[in-house]
Amino acid sequence: MPVYKPTPIPASEITPRPLFNDRRRFMQIAAGASLAALLPPSVWAADNKLAGVKNPAYTVPEELTPYKDVTSYNNFYEFGTGKDDPAKNAGGLKTRPWTVTVEGEVKKPQVFDLDTLMKMAAIEERIYRLRCVEAWSMVVPWLGFSLAELIKQVQPTGKAKFVEFISLNDASQMPGQQTSVLAWPYREGLRIDEAMHPLTLLTFGLYGELLPNQNGAPVRVVVPWKYGFKSAKSIVGIRFTEQQPVTSWMLAGPSEYGFYSNVNPTVDHARWSQAKERRIGEFFRRKTLMFNGYEQEVAALYTGMDLKANF
């Protein structure tokens, strides 16, 4: 499977981190003053901003999780297993140039470069809950468009029953890949109707800017009714298959991480209850909602299915 191995990148080519990662905080500091006037042109050009039109159909009534928490408390095992490892270790990830290879059971297989991909449809801002299998959750203003836009363009064949997502495999940039804590590359998958569901977001940014590396730059999926690990980061491949893909987490713990992994307060994880969760920044735990609160939208995908057996 050498297809996704990128050419090694010399350290000299690694883009420096932008000077102002926390744009909101900077705006507060600059309150009243014109931001552009305060910044030399080179710094302004290095800004990672990404515009998205708010889509009022996709929002939740809860408060947003602060930017600082969204970008400093992460799971991204390619950069280490600690929650603060991705923010510490992902700074050097080279996210341009970047391509996503779309292949398998499609009439129009294609290698998209990132810029082409980002222009495929209008970027929207959607506020989604994301709940980790470890019973914490966040509310994040993501930027992207429905993955369905891409799927329609490549035209799946009649045999395409599943979609597999393959993350970057490059131990020279991803120190966590020097250990075998997971089977690399990180692989995830969805049934094709789940992948086509309008909620499934091909995601390029959050909080008005391009994805920080620790959140899966330059492109990831966000599947808000499933446990967080289904939302694969730093994707380089999307493959359409007839057979259900075997994911990295299924290999790591077949009894603990199923293919579906829908958020479900009535089906416990093998080692802990899933009935409640802690919203990052809150003290009291809240009840976990069926399908993470997206029951109205997605329950029909699972009509007649035993969700205990298909965990």
The site for ligand MTE (CB under 6 A) is made up of 74-78, 130, 132, 138, 167, 186, 215-216, 228-229, 231-234
Pairing type for strands 124-131 and 53-54 reads parallel
| Contact between 227 and 210 (Cβ < 8 Å) | no
| Contact between 186 and 77 (Cβ < 8 Å) | yes
* Binding region for Mo ion (CB under 5 A) out of 72-80, 98-106, 168-176, 210-218: 72-80
Q: Whole-number minimum distance, CB 303 to ligand MTE, in Å?
A: 27
Helix (H, G, I), strand (E, B) or coil at 302: helix
Q: Among all residues, whose Cβ is closest to ligand MTE? A: 228
- 156 vs 234 by CB, closer to ligand MTE: 234
Tokens 């007839």, located at residue: 242
Which one-letter amino acid corresponds to residue 283? F
Q: Whole-number minimum distance, CB 165 to ligand MTE, in Å?
A: 8
Q: Whole-number minimum distance, CB 213 to ligand MTE, in Å?
A: 11
* By the rule CB under 5 A, 247 interacts with Mo ion: no
x/- string (CB under 5 A) for Mo ion, residues 201-240? ---------------------------xx-----------
* Binding region for Mo ion (CB under 5 A) out of 128-136, 206-214, 215-223, 241-249: 128-136
Q: Whole-number minimum distance, CB 87 to ligand MTE, in Å?
A: 9
| Residues 60-67: contacts with CB under 8 Å, at least 24 apart | 60/127, 60/128, 60/129, 60/139, 60/293, 62/129, 62/139, 62/279, 63/139, 64/127, 64/139, 64/140, 64/141, 65/138, 65/139, 65/140, 65/279, 65/280, 65/281, 66/281, 67/22, 67/24, 67/207
- 67 vs 229 by CB, closer to ligand MTE: 229
| Contact between 222 and 144 (Cβ < 8 Å) | yes
Q: Which of 184, 181, 183, 164 is nearest to 173 (CA)?
A: 184
- 20 vs 229 by CB, closer to Mo ion: 229
Q: Which of 218, 205, 192 is nearest to 15 (CA)?
A: 218
Q: Whole-number minimum distance, CB 163 to ligand MTE, in Å?
A: 15
- 150 vs 206 by CB, closer to ligand MTE: 206
Q: Whole-number minimum distance, CB 31 to ligand MTE, in Å?
A: 28
Q: Whole-number minimum distance, CB 25 to Mo ion, in Å?
A: 26
With CB cut-offs between 5 and 8 Å by kind, which of ligand MTE, Mo ion, none does residue 294 bind? none
| Contact between 250 and 230 (Cβ < 8 Å) | no
- 30 vs 183 by CB, closer to ligand MTE: 183
Q: What are phi and psi of 136, to 5 degrees?
A: -120, 160
Alpha-carbon distance of 76 to 33, in angstroms, equals: 37
Q: Whole-number minimum distance, CB 29 to Mo ion, in Å?
A: 33
Instruction: Check residue 240 and report its DSSP letter.
Output: E
* By the rule CB under 5 A, 138 interacts with Mo ion: no
* By the rule CB under 5 A, 132 interacts with Mo ion: yes
* Binding region for Mo ion (CB under 5 A) out of 45-53, 74-82, 104-112, 269-277: 74-82
Alpha carbon distances (Å) from 177 to 75, 168, 213, 278: 14, 10, 16, 29
Applying CB under 5 A, which residues contact Mo ion?
75, 132-133, 228-229
